[in-house]
Amino acid sequence: MADNKTMLSIKNLTKRFGGLAAVNDVSVDFQAGQINAIIGPNGAGKTTFFNLVAGAMPPSEGSIEFQGIDVTGMSPDRIARLGIARTFQTTMLFDQSTVLDNLIVGHRLRTQSRLWDVIINSKRLRDEEKKCRARAEEVLDFVGLSHLGHRYIVDISQEERKRVAFALAMATDPELVLLDEPAGGINPEETENLAGLIRKMVDHGITVCLIEHKMDMIMSLADKIMVLDHGEKIAEGTPEQIKNDPVVIEAYLGSDEDVEA
Amino acid sequence: MDRVMNFLASPAMKVVLLVAAILFPWVAASEYQIYVMALAFVWAIAVYGLNIITGYCGQLNLAHGGFFAIGAYAVGLLTVDYGWAFWPAFIAAGVLGAFFGFLVGVVSLRLKEHYFAIFTLCVGFIIYLLIEKWEELTHGTLGVISIAPPEGFGLVDFTETIPFYYLVLFFLVLAIWLISRISRSLVGRTFLAIRISDDLAQSLGINLMRNKVLAFVLSTTYAGLAGALLAGVVRFIGPDLAEITHTFDVITYLLVGGIGTLMGPLVGTLLITWITQAVQSFEEYRMIVFGPLLVVLVIFMPKGIVGTFLTWRGRRLASKAPARRAESRVGDSSDGNQGEAG
């Protein structure tokens, strides 16, 4: 898997909101089995880029190819079924329910049961519910939280919530996971642990794409970095290349380093 | 304390409730009380309907009273003007509830949050206007009188209060049973994911429109059937049935009992119905009691009585017994409560 297979191939991607191009003519390839980071100042269009890839909004121009399939303009639920999962900047979970209960629905997209199955309590439904529960326990174990399965979401820490959000994305059986600021709002030690978890995901054959502001984390974690500024791609390369790129230093690292750190 | 708590949330509690409901006509002080209880059950069915789309699926539908009125008028007009018997008309009321629910749903559910609520508010008002102004069909402000009661097929007479009470109880139990099935199933979990956030649900591969329309049609079918039962017991209906106040009554029952919980609709409806009875002498001024009560409740118990209780109990159990949890709780033993918590 890790040898140069293209997971995501993006060509001339553009998204305009009125006169503003939030993403402007971005072309980039992300390889399978790698950690790809997207960095850039606030308002650079990073989250819009994710929204386009996940199908949450249609692009104005350009194309998105996922594992050789053209997914441009496809609905987000279809894209999710094809194998792109995502987490959001703000973790969205159901507070009044347990961790495990939150995760069971994650595997729903791999099941077929309809209302009729519920009314007659069909074998298909029972089997699929078992399957979803088993998958939920599996991903909970994967993120190292099986001891918290029956805790309520309100009672767990911010870092644990992030892990549950990861687990929820994992429950969809994705090929590619988009992580939007996974380390936002957690302390350095927890950030380190989360980076370990991201590596573990890649070790299990998942391709990761993440948006992050924490430079230390990105530089040690990413195989490839793309830098966005005002919606345009201004650089792309390994952490070494990005660190030494004068355009990037000018636009981002140099001037904003203190603020971003 | 813990034992009381556990009992309240246990399956045995449901048996106790059912037995209490069956015995109620014998302990009631008067036939009037049985009649009030039967009406409360009818409204509870409507509240269960609203709970599907608003409680589980998170879409505030303000046309719910309108669909209730559609069900009631279906039975009223079909039996009085077209000579149908009650039971076929009852089924037609459910079908019409589902049909109009589908039509309204596929249009209105394209809108999100407040916009959906405002749209359905207008739909509810249009239903009211149609019923009031379309005199040729609906008899306008005169309403529909002497609606056929449910036929008892020679066995029972549903014009009597007590048989009708049991008939309504039967449908209420059926309604709750179906909801408990749905809410615990993958379908219910799908609704719940939509309630958390449209974006999250879509990122989990959930088709928003299909699931929202399903929840909406289920809820309007419940409303239609509840309306049909009301027409069968009251046997006189007027356009005021479609007034927005009924929708807000239903929402109040749901909020007080616990939105998105299994027993909340029942608890809320019964509680408010009997409080209303107790303060009936206040008439319009009873809002002086309910207004502040509702404000206090929304501030301090936004999850309602049942929701607050279940969350409190669940958190307490989870934090108190880490050892027990590690042993065995992963299997089915927790299922019973999840239906309600979810």
Residues A168 and A247 in one domain: no
CATH architecture for segment(s) B30-341: Orthogonal Bundle (1.10)
- Euclidean distance between CA atoms B250 and B259, whole angstroms: 11
First to last CA, chain A: 34
Q: Say how many domains are in chain A.
A: 2
Percent of chain A surpassing pLDDT 70: 95
Candidates A77, A100, A101; nearest CB to B202: A77
Residues A153 and A182 in one domain: no
For residues B183-207, average pLDDT: 93
Residue that is last in its domain, among A173, A201, A220 = A173
Residue that is last in its domain, among A173, A202, A226 = A173
Residues A163 and A237 in one domain: no
Candidates B203, B310, B315; nearest CB to A76: B203
Sign of CA dihedral B302, B307, B312, B315: negative
Domain assignment of residue A6, yes or no:
yes
- Chain B positions in Cβ-Cβ contact with residue A100 (cut-off 8 Å): 330
Confidence of residue B342 (pLDDT cuts 50, 70, 90): very low
Domain edges within chain B: 30-341
Q: B18-75 pLDDT, tens per residue?
A: 999 999 988 888 889 999 999 999 999 999 999 999 999 999 999 999 999 999 999 9
- Euclidean distance between CA atoms A24 and A54, whole angstroms: 17
A214: domain range?
1-83+174-261
- Chain A positions in Cβ-Cβ contact with residue B55 (cut-off 8 Å): none
| Mutation site, B184, B186, B330, interface A, largest A CB count within 10 A | B186
Element (H, E) at B183: helix B161-184
Residues A146 and A258 in one domain: no
Residues A61 and A186 in one domain: yes
Domain assignment of residue A89, yes or no:
no
Domain assignment of residue A244, yes or no:
yes
Residues A47 and A68 in one domain: yes
Residues A114 and A239 in one domain: no
Domain assignment of residue A71, yes or no:
yes
Residues A107 and A71 in one domain: no
Residue B176 has pLDDT above 90, yes or no: yes
- DSSP structure string for B296-311: HHHHH-TTHHHHHHHH
Residues A109 and A210 in one domain: no
Q: Is A2 helix (H, G, I), strand (E, B) or coil?
A: coil
Residues A164 and A213 in one domain: no
Confidence of residue B289 (pLDDT cuts 50, 70, 90): confident
Q: A19-75 pLDDT, tens per residue?
A: 889 999 999 999 999 999 999 888 889 999 999 999 999 999 999 999 999 999 999
Candidates A88, A96, A109; nearest CB to B200: A88
Residues A217 and A260 in one domain: yes
Domain assignment of residue A88, yes or no:
no
Residue that is last in its domain, among A173, A193, A212 = A173
Domain assignment of residue A250, yes or no:
yes
- Euclidean distance between CA atoms A230 and A1, whole angstroms: 34
CB contact under 8 A, A150 and B325: yes
Q: B238-286 pLDDT, tens per residue?
A: 999 989 999 999 999 999 999 999 999 999 999 989 988 888 777 778 7
- Chain A positions in Cβ-Cβ contact with residue B188 (cut-off 8 Å): 118
Residue B329 has pLDDT above 60, yes or no: no
Rounded (to 5) percent helix, strand, coil in chain A:
45, 25, 30
* Structural contact between residues A132 and B338, judged by C-beta atoms closer than 8 angstroms: no
How, if at all, do strands B236-237 and B144-145 pair? antiparallel
